[in-house]
Amino acid sequence: MAKFANILETVGRTPVVKIGKLAPPGVDLYVKIEAFNPLGSVKDRLALGIIEDAERTGALKPGHTVIEATSGNTGIGLAMVCAQKGYPLVVTMADSFSVERRKLMRFLGAKVILTPAAERGTGMVRKANELAAKNGWFLTRQFENEANADYHSKTTAREIVDDFAGGRLDYFVTGFGTGGTLKGVGRVLAMERPETKIVVSEPADAPMLTSGEAQPRRDDGSATASHPAWKPHPIQGWSPDFIAKLTGDAVAAGMVSRVITVVTADAMQCSRDLAQKEGIFVGTSSGATFSAALRVCADSPKGSVVLCMLPDTGERYLSTGLFADIPADMTPEEIAIAG
């Protein structure tokens, strides 16, 4: 068994697993399970990449406080990195995100500042900027920091290229939050596997790439047919109410071949199906990406090979609608079994 000097050395090298029961016949469907990262999500990668880049450049020095706006997974990854390296961490987060996320960050030693749900991603980013400027803290800027995409180019992309070396890889399916995975992996595939088409999944209730517009920040009565009010969507970590710079870069560079919108019900059903039919325990964003991957499979020629990113663990969603019909007490069927 490998030995590591510290927990940060275990980030990355996540497994690619072939899907059996849920994959349509004639197509090879694989998933890259980012829940195998030490704190359970793909955001462990960007957290480590950004902090170590800031240390190299001198932007972050011992004793500095780190701050970031997050829907949860980036904050949890940063809390791990900062705990190991000894930096105080403050995160800002809209209070609509799951309770277990803020508890995990606090358990890891971070301070969590909640912002109003109605202000969505813009509100929590604004608050982080304010606190960073006021206190002289290091703002990680996950949505625009090139170290985010760079780390995915150096790790995630290299893992994918190596795992599919000598074989087909027709489609890479991913969601987007910061755009770090999309840009970082996309540019490497464009150079080394140009035949691989990149498909992006996004919520049907916040179709920013499909519409080409950021979502309105709040329903203030000013909605029109061409500019509807935003709809809250439970695919946490996806589609804040702005298009992140890294995402915009990837789109502008022509990396994206297709965008697929996914309704929440399909995302949740796919999460449950992965758990109950494949034994793969992931969250709603993973279910949404997998739903898009199934549509890619359905539209693909026989023999195609599809890789789908699964960003995080299902444990981030215990207090959300994903588990709404999962009882804590025994069901009638279980009572009957118990006798």
Average pLDDT over residues 73-84: 97
pLDDT of 35 above 90: yes
Average pLDDT over residues 25-42: 97
pLDDT of 226 above 90: no
pLDDT of 215 above 60: no
pLDDT of 272 above 90: yes
| Range with the poorest average pLDDT among 118-127, 212-221, 285-294, 319-328 | 212-221
pLDDT of 239 above 70: no
pLDDT tens, position by position, 4-22: 999 999 999 999 999 999 9
Q: pLDDT > 70: what percent of the chain?
A: 91
- From residue 265, how far is each of 201, 202, 291 by CA, in Å? 14, 13, 10
- From residue 306, how far is each of 94, 105, 130, 291 by CA, in Å? 34, 34, 43, 13
Round to whole Å and give the CA distance between 291 and 267: 6
Q: How confident is the model at residue 236 (pLDDT cuts 50, 70, 90)?
A: low
The token pair that represents 274 in the structure block: 């992965």
- Given CATH 3.40.630.30, say whether it is the number of domain 43-139: no
For position 330, what pLDDT does the model report? Answer: 93
228 vs 177, more confident: 177
Ordered alpha helix ranges (H), 69-155:
73-85, 99-107, 120-135, 146-154
Q: Which CATH class is domain 7-38+155-323?
A: alpha beta
Average pLDDT over residues 90-108: 91
Catalytic residue of the set 71, 153, 201, 285: 285
Cα–Cα–Cα angle for 268, 299, 272, rounded to 5 degrees: 15
pLDDT tens, position by position, 173-189: 999 989 999 999 999 99
DSSP classification of residue 158: H
43 is catalytic: yes
- Domain boundaries in the chain? 7-38+155-323, 43-139
pLDDT tens, position by position, 103-128: 999 999 999 999 988 888 788 999 99
For position 320, what pLDDT does the model report? Answer: 85
Catalytic residue of the set 32, 43, 127, 197: 43
201 is catalytic: no
Q: How confident is the model at residue 280 (pLDDT cuts 50, 70, 90)?
A: very high
Round to whole Å and give the CA distance between 313 and 336: 32
